[in-house]
A and B are shown apart, each in its own frame.
Chain A
Amino acid sequence: MTFLPLRRLLLLLTLATMTTAAVAAGKTVTLLNVSYDPTREFYDAFNAAFATDWKRRTGGSVIINQSHGGSGKQARAIIDGLEADVATLALGYDVDALSVQGHLIAADWQKKLPYNSTPYTSTIVFLVRTGNPKGIRDWGDLIKPGVAVITPNPKTSGGARWNYLAAWAWAKSRPGGSDATAEAFVKALYRNVPVLDSGARGSTMTFVERGIGDVLLAWENEALLAVRELGAGKFQIVIPSQSILAEPPVTIVDRFVDKHGTRAVAEAYLRFLYAPEGQLLAAQHYFRPRDVAVGAKYTGQFPTVKLVTIDQAFGGWRAAQAAHFADGGSFDRIYEAY
């Protein structure tokens, strides 16, 4: 048995390492996905699945970094220079800001991917304590005296804006409903809110950990998470007679994918959200999938509920924002008379 001289062996090893490193470096792409709070667990699983799929199809490796936070805060971070390749935020208004305030994406971004660029949806449901001691069945029960409602501040929380609009749309759809009755209803609802957290996760903690309130207005995915994982047996979900179709959109950030040369992989990443595997993962993480076949497997998890869309009921995000959440909007009027 002959041995290689040590020096030659080391040289060979070094060369081999350098070649592998060079090959790997040549093909490894890094993506940054800037998202909102409740998608943390979903994208952890999705990123791994996409990396495997990408490797299988192209042979290249892709590393996806995640950033999570309040939706508005995340949009502001991107505008202020966080170089996200893709943005997956809580509502269209925040993605719009990337176009209007940041000039980072085209104004017609929402038309670039199927279903308004929202591969998965959610809705707003009620989370109550087990046994539903206050007998909360629908929106109307939330304004009864003695019912404490937990919802975040719609000025700072994307989720809270969906809550607010869902309440408004329900009140307006009542017999004899109008903008005036809807405003009165929402006003009465906020009279029953004892704590106004700045974000959706904060409200969930107030309700679940601090034991404040009788009902939490929550994303369906947060509510399912709370019921199954945070406090099994302590909470139950109440589905109101009508709610809103919450569409958290996704987009490529044009400016930064062009700068990084990552457009192809970023596009594939977002497309994979619409593929059966991505849809399945979304459903497993409590987001309503768009894919009918995947949805059919999860009908038990996602009960049928009458949903209005923001375009039907409010004429889109820009109009909703101006009428309700901008300075002097309907939300400001609620607290004016205090």
Chain B
Amino acid sequence: MQAALAPTIPFTARKPRRVLPGFGLSLGYTILYLSLVVLIPLAAIFLKTADLGWNRFLQVVGTPRVVAALELSFGAAAAAALVNTFAGLLVAWVLARYEFPLRRLVDALVDLPFALPTAVAGIALTALYAPNGLLGRLLEPLGIKVAYTPLGIVVALVFIGLPFVVRTVQPVLEDLDHEVEQAAATLGANGVQIFLRIVLPAVWPALLTGFTLAFARAIGEYGSVIFIAGNMPMRSEIAPLLIVTKLEQYEYAAATGIAVVMLLISFFLLLGINALQAWSQRRLLGTT
């Protein structure tokens, strides 16, 4: 996740002498810190899983129920992150480009999903979307069920993921030079062309980072989802719940086994997104 934040700087063959010293110290600290905070806990998960042995590991993670839960967790997370990418870009655009009454208040509202305990979010959303809830009551006659379905999971994940996209895209939009757009307009470009050729390439890396963050956050989300999901095996049961279920049965190794699979899938997905980001960045820079 951390890597996704770092801007990709095109590699130059000869590095100039740095003005600020301390590379060795800062790198050493970085490695120590990452080891303590990230690597050692992750290593513990892998070690615990090793208790299982290959056969039992494959048996645990290969059951249809675990596979269904993994598909749901990653699928719902991707869907929610995608929704947030579009909605988040719009919100960031409005906040960055327009002055309107209560703008600061709206700006602060965006951060609320960060601050709210996820269980509170889950209970509130469930109360809203349950068949007897404020919104659920209106959707029910239309045949749309949100609470206790996979759709409800996506709704919860959209809620918790929104700030990630807005907060990564907004500063980039604010820094964007209006004159370039004006220049494009004087050269005869229409609105769509300006957006696709000028604005989008500039915010694209930030947008991708926002998507990645929202996606990564949603994969592991437990607190809010558990209330709205209905938790039916094979249908609306998320992978983190299966991990908790294993723990409740005192099967620690099986629990970490599922966690390892989630970690590996997440890692390769994030690596892929980072590569995509680096590639698009290179392509953009190459054209200038």
Residues of A within 8 A of B (CB): 70, 72-73, 76, 79, 97, 101, 153, 155-156, 193-198, 202, 209-212, 325-327, 332, 335-336, 338
Contact = CB atoms under 8 A, between A and B. Distances in A.
A194 B248 contact: no
B78 interface: no
A195 B234 contact: no
Contacts of B147: 210
A233 B214 CA distance: 45
A198 B232 contact: no
Nearest to B123: A205
B205 to A, nearest CB: 40
A153 B245 contact: yes
B201 interface: no
B232 A196 contact: yes
A198 B226 contact: yes
A198 B64 contact: no
Contacts of B230: 194-196
B251 A327 contact: yes
Contacts of A193: 232
B64 A72 contact: no
Contacts of A156: 244-245, 248
A33 B127 CA distance: 33
A335 B234 contact: yes
24 contacts: A72-B249, A73-B248, A76-B248, A76-B250, A79-B250, A155-B249, A193-B232, A195-B232, A196-B230, A196-B231, A198-B231, A198-B244, A202-B227, A210-B126, A210-B127, A210-B131, A210-B132, A211-B130, A211-B132, A325-B249, A327-B249, A332-B65, A336-B64, A338-B234
A338 B245 CA distance: 19
A155 B233 CA distance: 11
Contacts of B133: 210
Interface in B145-181: 147-148
A338 B63 CA distance: 13
A196 B254 CA distance: 22
Given A73-B248, A97-B250, A198-B231, 6 more contacts: A195-B231, A196-B232, A198-B226, A210-B130, A335-B234, A338-B233
Contact of A195 (B148, B250, B251): B148
A335 B130 contact: no
A210 B125 CA distance: 12
**Top 5 A-B pairs, shortest CB-CB distance:** A335-B233, A211-B132, A72-B248, A338-B234, A210-B130
Interface of A is mostly: loop
Contacts of B60: 327
Contact of A101 (B131, B227, B250, B254): B250
A338 B248 contact: no
Contacts of A338: 233-235
Contacts of A153: 231, 245
Interface in B236-265: 237, 241, 244-245, 247-251, 254
Nearest to A321: B249
Contact of B248 (A70, A196, A211): A70
B131 to A, nearest CB: 7
A97 B251 CA distance: 11
A203 to B, nearest CB: 11
Given A210-B130, A211-B132, A76 B247 contact: yes
A9 B241 CA distance: 64
A327 B64 contact: no
Nearest to B248: A72
Contacts of B232: 193-196
Max count, chain B CB within 10 A of own CB: residue among A326, A335, A336: A335
A152 B237 CA distance: 13
A72 B64 CA distance: 25
A193 B147 CA distance: 15
Contacts of A202: 227
Max count, chain B CB within 10 A of own CB: residue among A73, A76, A153, A196: A196
A156 B251 CA distance: 12
Contacts of A196: 230-233, 237
